[in-house]
Amino acid sequence: MLENSEVPAEASDRSKLAVLGSPITHSLSPTIHRAAYETLGFDWEYDAVELTGESLPAFLGALDRRWRGLSLTMPLKRDVVPLLDWADPLVELVGGANTVVVSEGHLRGYNTDVEGAMRSFLDAGLSNLDSVWILGAGATAASLLVASIRMGAQSIEIFARTPSKAEPLKKLGESLGATVTLRQWQEAATATTTPDVIITTVPGGAMDLRFAEAVRTTSVLFDVAYDPWPSDIATSWFEAGGTVISGHDLLINQAIAQVRIFAAGTSDVPLHHEADAIDAMRASIEQPEGHNHP
């Protein structure tokens, strides 16, 4: 495990971090990262910066030696890739990076969404998937596609408002050995089959589908959105007594992998007191009675 004292001394002045995206005001990343840093004894600061793809090159070019790393959310996960000096193979595979390490003027890109999703599946007791539906076709959908296949999924159905835009996802899934079918968005609500998991990667306010009770009681819902929470679709699953993996679960699991990378340059090295940090992250965004803040 990485002890707090094992953060390289020469990097001790690299204390600035931030999450970039647009819109960013709803982001819980500053809350959970600050909770983790306090628990781990890291003297780092973490802020939120409203930024679009057009402004990203200038922002990255102005980073100084005080910067340690960045988290990226919509719409920057794909925009940042051509700006990186080095990218982890997983970034190349999914076509998006949500984590950037700043070191000696170089930008190193990573993807922790895949690992975060896999940890979320395992936390929910899902160790082996077979059939998965994915709603949406953006950068997050690509990461959830790869995570699902790594968890064993062989049959993937992707529902998109413009299915042709999901063709890259179909090719990605097929390159990894899965059978991938593209469908029109509204077909998800009328389909008669029940997959192991239904993953929605669209913002909570953009979800307009309603599912039959038989689907909600049989299929696990993985809703990556968390603003507002619970979302309308998650509420419908709860009302049916169904199982839900929340956006908070993914947020925390991908973030602890980010903290590992920011501390050690790899997500493979567990942090000292990591379990305590995860507890602190979850407590920072959940009320004592267990209801999530909107």
Domain locations in the chain as residue ranges: 4-111+250-285, 125-242
Q: Other C-beta atoms within 10 Å of 183: how many?
A: 16
Predicted pLDDT of residue 289: 41
pLDDT at 228: 85
Assess contact for 38 and 13: CB atoms under 8 A.
no
Domain range 125-242, CATH architecture:
3-Layer(aba) Sandwich (3.40)
Q: What is the DSSP string of the chain?
A: -B-GGGS-GGGTT--EEEEEESS-TT--HHHHHHHHHHHHT---EEEEEE--TTTHHHHHHT--TTEEEEEE-TTHHHHTGGG-SEE-HHHHHHT--SEEEEETTEEEEE--HHHHHHHHHHHTT-----EEEEE--SHHHHHHHHHHHHTT--EEEEEESSGGGGHHHHHHHHHTT-EEEEEETTHHHH-----SEEEE-S-GGG------HHHHHHSEEEE---SSSS-HHHHHHHHTT--EE-HHHHHHHHHHHHHHHHHHS-SSSPBTTHHHHHHHHHHHHB-TTSPBP-
Looking at residue 192, what is its pLDDT?
85
The DSSP line for 31-97 is HHHHHHHHHHT---EEEEEE--TTTHHHHHHT--TTEEEEEE-TTHHHHTGGG-SEE-HHHHHHT--
The residues carrying an active-site annotation are 77
| pLDDT (0 to 100) of residue 205 | 66
Q: Do the first three CATH levels of 4-111+250-285 and 125-242 match, i.e. the same topology?
A: yes
The pLDDT profile of the chain, 294 residues, written as one tens digit per residue, is 434 434 444 455 899 999 999 999 999 999 999 999 999 999 999 999 999 999 999 999 999 999 999 999 989 999 999 999 999 999 999 999 999 999 988 999 999 999 999 999 999 999 999 999 999 999 899 999 999 999 999 999 999 999 999 999 999 999 999 999 999 999 999 988 999 999 999 987 678 899 999 999 999 999 998 888 899 999 999 999 999 999 999 999 999 999 999 999 999 999 999 999 999 999 999 865 434 432
Query: What CATH number does domain 4-111+250-285 carry, 2.60.40.10, 3.40.50.10860, 1.25.40.10, 3.40.640.10?
Result: 3.40.50.10860
- pTM of the full structure: 0.91
280, 41 Cβ separation under 8 angstroms: no
Contact present, 20 and 76 (Cβ < 8 Å): yes
111: left (phi over 0), alpha (psi -120 to 50) or beta: beta
| pLDDT for 227 | 84
